[in-house]
């Protein structure tokens, strides 16, 4: 019992540290990646390669004053940033970093992540609504309809995955993919559309986390800063960290469901390093996408979901069901 308590506390601290460190250093990675894509250098003054920049940024954010504008809903306004961060951290609980490195190996881990992920949109909605700012309200409305539209194909894809794997336990799903030919992205025996399913999942997780090219919520050229227009100091900081934490969650799930999690592609040395390698490759792709494409238009975004992603994921669901029945 005692060791179990220590384990929980250690993981709790570890997860929060992991989430915060990731948020901080993904900002660094984002800035460096963007800079080199744009043939600049990026942060370079603070520490070697600007590695201390996130720390300095964090200190700056923390020392700023939290401004509460007139006419905002004081409770919701303060609550929203916390609400953006907490579900993201909670979702880390069930991510299997390696066979043993998992805070809680819950049987319904997959379900739990999606439950918490849907709280995230509530934070945007509340933050935007409570701000008493027209830009923020428009942004909140956009974020909600976007999330609703993309939750559907994402969940259909996940249902397909659950049908194939037969479990909601993330560690078991990883265990089913011992080498590269067994990874679900290449498991053509389950459904010939598996790479497409991965793509749908990846696109949806981009949209769910409001990342470019689906960053309509913060479309800075239209809505200034969207739902966090009125936030300053760590209020803004938490939204910011929440966004990066959500990216990590989204990419982790993609790695777990499709790319074999902590498994070695050749089945030799499975471990946490494989997980992190795959995770950061995916995250780099997210950053790479952001700095390549313009933002989608609102109807384009919804059309993509309703006219392409949902029909295709539905088709994949039926196809998979058929394959399961036949083979």
Partner 1 sequence: MGAYFKEIFTGFWSLLVGMSITIREMTKPVVTEQYPYEASVMTSRFRGHIELVPNEEGGNKCIVCGMCMRSCPSACITVEGEKREGIKGKALTRYRLDFTRCSLCGMCVESCRPGAIRFSKDYNLAGTKKAAYIFDLLKRLEEQNK
Partner 2 sequence: MDNAATNNQETFVLNVGPQHPATHGVLRLKLTLDGEYVVRAEPVLGYIHRMHEKMGENRTWAQFMPNTGRMDYLSALSYNHGYAAAVERAMGITVPERAEYLRVITVELNRISSHLVWFGAYLLDLGGFTPLLYAFDDREKILNLLESVTGSRLTYCYFRFGGVYNDIDENFVDGVKEFIKTMRRSLPMYHNLVSKNIILLKRLKDIGPISRETIRKYGATGPVARGSGVDYDVRKNEPYSVYPEFDFEVPVYHEGDSMARYMVRMDEIEQSMRIIEQALDKLPAGPVMAAKTPRIIKPPKGDYYQAVEAARGSFGVRIVSDGTNTAYRLKLRSPSFSNLSLFSAVSEGMLLADALALLGSLDLVIPEIDR
The site for partner 1 (CB under 8 A) is made up of 33, 35-41, 288-289, 291-293, 308
Among 291, 302, 319, 323, binds partner 2 (CB under 8 A): 291
C-beta of 223: minimal distance to partner 2 in Å?
8
Give CA–CA dist 151/155, Å, rounded: 6
Give which of partner 1, partner 2, none residue 108 binds (C-beta under 5 to 8 Å, depending on kind): none
Three-state DSSP class for 310?
A: helix
Asked if residue 222 binds partner 2 (CB under 8 A), the reply is: yes
Query: Of 79 and 289, which has the nearer Cβ to partner 1?
Result: 289
Angle between helices 74-92 and 2-37 (to 10 degrees): 100
String of DSSP letters for 16-33: HHHHHHHHHHHHHHHHHH
Q: How does 290-307 read in b/e, with b if 16+ C-beta sit within 10 Å?
A: beeeebbeeeebbebbee
- Candidate residues 70, 74, 221, 327; the one interacting with partner 2 per rule CB under 8 A: 221
Q: Which of 2, 3, 5, 39 binds partner 2 (CB under 8 A)?
A: 39
> DSSP per residue over 95-124, as a string?
--SSSS--S---TTHHHHHHHHHHHHHHHH
Structure tokens at 247: 């990216």
Single out the segment in contact with partner 2 by CB under 8 A; choices: 9-17, 132-140, 156-164, 191-199.
132-140
Per CB under 8 A, contacts with partner 2 among 180-199 are none
User: Closest separation between CB of residue 128 and partner 2, Å?
Assistant: 14
Distance CA 97, CA 307 (A): 35
Cis peptide before 213, with omega less than 30 degrees from 0?
A: yes
Which listed option, partner 2, partner 1, none, makes contact with residue 220 (CB within 5 to 8 Å by class)? partner 2
- Is residue 200 helix, strand or coil? helix
Task: Report residue 294 as tokens.
Answer: 């313009």
Contact segment (CB under 8 A) with partner 2 among 81-89, 169-177, 250-258, 288-296 equals 288-296
Rounded CA separation 8/26 (Å): 26
**Contact assessment for residue 230 and residue 136, using Cβ atoms and an 8 Å cutoff:** yes
Among the listed residues 192, 300, 311, 322, the single contact to partner 2 using CB under 8 A: 300
Q: Helix (H, G, I), strand (E, B), or coil: what is residue 72?
A: coil
Which CB sits closer to partner 1, 50 or 109?
50
Of partner 2, partner 1, none, which one does residue 288 interact with (CB within 5 to 8 Å by kind)? Answer: partner 1
When the beta carbons of 154 and 212 are compared against partner 2, the nearer one is 212
Angle at 275 between CA 258 and CA 120, to 5 degrees: 70
Nearer to partner 1, 278 or 290 (CB): 290
289 binds, among partner 1, partner 2, none (CB under 5 to 8 A by kind): partner 1
Q: Which residues bind partner 2 (CB under 8 A)?
A: 34, 37-40, 134-135, 138, 142, 212-213, 215-216, 219-222, 224, 291-300
């Amino acid at each position: 019992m005692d060791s179990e308590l220590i384990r929980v506390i250690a993981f709790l601290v570890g997860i929060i540290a992991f989430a915060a460190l990731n948020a901080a250093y993904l900002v660094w990675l984002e800035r460096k990646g963007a800079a080199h894509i744009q043939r600049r250098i990026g942060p370079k003054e603070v520490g070697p390669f600007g590695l201390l920049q996130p720390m300095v940024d964090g200190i700056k954010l923390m020392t700023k004053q939290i401004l509460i504008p007139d006419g905002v809903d004081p409770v919701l306004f303060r609550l929203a940033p916390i609400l953006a961060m907490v579900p993201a951290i909670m979702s880390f609980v069930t991510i299997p970093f390696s066979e043993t490195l998992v805070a809680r190996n819950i049987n319904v881990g997959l379900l739990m992540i999606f439950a918490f992920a849907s709280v995230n949109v509530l934070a945007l909605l509340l933050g935007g609504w409570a701000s008493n700012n027209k830009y923020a309200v428009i942004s909140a409305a956009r974020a909600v309809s976007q999330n609703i539209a993309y939750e559907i194909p994402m969940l259909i894809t996940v249902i397909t995955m659950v049908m194939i794997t037969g479990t909601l336990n993330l560690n078991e799903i990883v265990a089913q993919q011992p080498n590269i030919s067994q990874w679900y992205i290449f498991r053509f025996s389950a459904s010939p559309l598996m790479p497409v399913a991965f793509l749908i999942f990846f696109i949806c997780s981009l949209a769910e986390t409001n990342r470019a090219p689906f960053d309509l919520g913060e479309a800075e050229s239209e809505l200034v800063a969207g739902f966090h227009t009125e936030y300053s100091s760590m209020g803004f900081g938490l939204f910011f960290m929440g966004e990066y934490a959500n990216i990590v969650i989204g990419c982790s799930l993609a790695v777990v469901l499709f790319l074999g999690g902590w498994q070695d592609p050749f089945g030799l040395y499975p471990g946490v390093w494989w997980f992190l390698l795959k995770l950061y490759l995916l995250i780099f792709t997210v950053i790479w996408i952001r700095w390549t494409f313009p933002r989608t238009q609102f109807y384009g975004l919804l059309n993509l979901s309703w006219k392409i992603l949902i029909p295709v994921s539905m088709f994949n669901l039926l196809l998979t069901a058929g394959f399961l029945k036949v083979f």
